[in-house]
Structure 1
Amino acid sequence: MAMPMSNMAGPPPGVLPPAAIGTSGLQYLAQMNEVRINQQVEIAEVMTGIDMANRYQVLDGGNRLSYFVYEESECCNRVFCKENRGFIMHMMDNTNQEVLRMERVFRCCTGCCWFKSCGHILDITANGVPLGLVRQSQYCLQPKLTIENPSGQELYHIEGPMCVCHGPCCFADVPFNVFASGSSAEPVACISRVHAGCAQEMFSKANHFKIVYQQNLDLNSRALIFSATFLLDMMFFEHDK
């Protein structure tokens, strides 16, 4: 049974930059052209090797803490299903209110890149209102995902590199470019997995990401692209290095 939100760790109070105080909800995300998502190192996970629920700090381009994201998932699901587990990611604002929820329901066949029905799906809602979903597409070598509205219409598609390499010795960013539907000319945004430092890369599975919005996107689009980062993390970077 999933843990209730009251038992989950929320964000520390009073940590947001002065510019964000009073800007609750997702509105501050509209002002962030660069977003950094840093997964926190869980000491218990490092010591025991048992997967703990993930927690992330969300920073703006000035490295100021702007949001906090934490995972809600079942312990047995994390232990036995690892990166294929079902989860809910809660994004909290400076008032400790949930402003975005990202949910992947556990399915036994999740992860197969050959069959659309078995692909990863992440549902995104804000205050209970569906914003859209991120869906794994069929692919052979190059990872591909689509970002869709609640009706299933494709808004954007994500293309990753053929080699998704990460670890202590892989210093290069791993980019996932986001393109408008029907176009592969100029990306509207780029989600990159960045090197977290040799010590962290060697001893933990905590990952760091950077999102650069390269075009003037509306808030819903920004939120959907932001949410896609957590599905990419689980699909490609959550496993043991």
Structure 2
Amino acid sequence: MYLKDTAMIPCPDPYHCPSHLETLTLIDQLFVYKEKTLEESLVEGCCGIKSNNRYEVKDAIGNKVFTILEDNDCCNRTYCAAARSFIMNVFNDSNQEIIRLVRPFVCNCCKNELEVQSPPGVAIGHVRQNCHVCLPKFTVENERGQPAFKIAGPCVACSFCTDENFELVSLNGEEIDRPFGKIVKLFSSSGPNAGADFVLRFPRNLDVKMKATLLGACILIDSVYYENKQQPLPFLLCQCCLR
């Protein structure tokens, strides 16, 4: 594992991390499941009206770690598509909100960004998209806005339903072929985590703030590249748009 950049230095004492993030201390994998009811799928498919996103996050043996709930309005979800703003509230198993993911609205589709807060209101990391002709590229920053490492993804437009790797690489790019972790978009899976949409893999001793920021990066990647791939053009106005 190649942790050369200053902001990538692992947590110096894993037993004295922020109390609200202690769940992440010994974890090196997270599995993310996107949840949607049949009714929500029918409404979205027939009317183009999207519901708030919900995710469940589990560890490698299938234990639930977090629940993620989107807090958004109908018009923003339905008509702003991949450029929409959102707030995602991340709850632990005691139903306490311990992480908040905040994404502002963007006019430039290549300038997506997200702030990770923990506890809510206190920034611990940022994810910023880097412009590229066809490849997804992001920079992960610490709470002070200092670049920590990069995320290099595949050409999503050329994918053919095979697992897609968004690799965690150093800032200098010299080790682009030697990633120290990855976010994987799964199209097929088996075992205790069958049905997962994403899997995150990272060093176990990585700073827990960076682990939480990677979870935010996963949600941003889903929103930008996968959520609206087959979304139909909405033709019904929701009630909130008529007010």
Per-residue CA deviation, residues 158-212 of structure 1 (Å, 9 max, x unaligned), is 000124556xx71x21110011322441222200110158xxxxxxxx9710001
Q: Give structure 1 stretches of 5+ with no counterpart.
A: 1-23, 114-118, 198-205
Cα distance in 1 between the residues matched to 2:40 and 2:68: 18
The answer as to 2:33 corresponding to 1:38 is yes
Per-residue CA deviation, residues 2-29 of structure 1 (Å, 9 max, x unaligned), is xxxxxxxxxxxxxxxxxxxxxx732111
**Counterpart amino acid of residue 51 in structure 2:** M
Partner residue, 2:167: 177
Q: What is the deviation of 1:87?
A: 0.4
Partner residue, 1:140: 133
The answer as to 2:213 corresponding to 1:224 is yes
Q: What is the deviation of 1:93?
A: 0.6
Cα distance in 1 between the residues matched to 2:43 and 2:21: 36
Q: Is the 8 A contact 1:165 1:174 kept in 2?
A: no
Flag as ranges the 4+ runs of structure 1 deviating above 6 A. none
| Greater gyration radius | 2
Q: Which has the higher contact order (CA 8 A, sep 6+)?
A: 2
The answer as to 2:97 corresponding to 1:90 is no
The answer as to 2:149 corresponding to 1:156 is yes
Structure 1 163/236 Cα, relative in aligned 2: closer, same or farther at 3 Å? Answer: closer
Cα distance in 1 between the residues matched to 2:185 and 2:153: 11
Cα distance in 2 between the residues matched to 1:183 and 1:40: 35
Cα distance in 1 between the residues matched to 2:87 and 2:188: 24
Q: Is the 8 A contact 1:148 1:156 kept in 2?
A: yes
Q: Is the 8 A contact 1:190 1:214 kept in 2?
A: no
Q: What is the deviation of 1:144?
A: 0.5
Give the percent of matched residue pairs that are identical in Structure 1 and Structure 2: 30
Structure 1 74/184 Cα, relative in aligned 2: closer, same or farther at 3 Å? Answer: farther
Cα distance in 1 between the residues matched to 2:96 and 2:204: 28
Structure 1 86/163 Cα, relative in aligned 2: closer, same or farther at 3 Å? Answer: closer
Structure 1 163/121 Cα, relative in aligned 2: closer, same or farther at 3 Å? Answer: closer
Q: Is the 8 A contact 1:189 1:215 kept in 2?
A: no
TM-score (norm 2): 0.76
Name the Cα RMSD after superposition: 2.2
Q: Is the 8 A contact 2:88 2:100 kept in 1?
A: yes
Q: What is the deviation of 1:56?
A: 0.5
Cα distance in 1 between the residues matched to 2:127 and 2:77: 21
**Counterpart amino acid of residue 175 in structure 1:** N
Partner residue, 1:121: 113
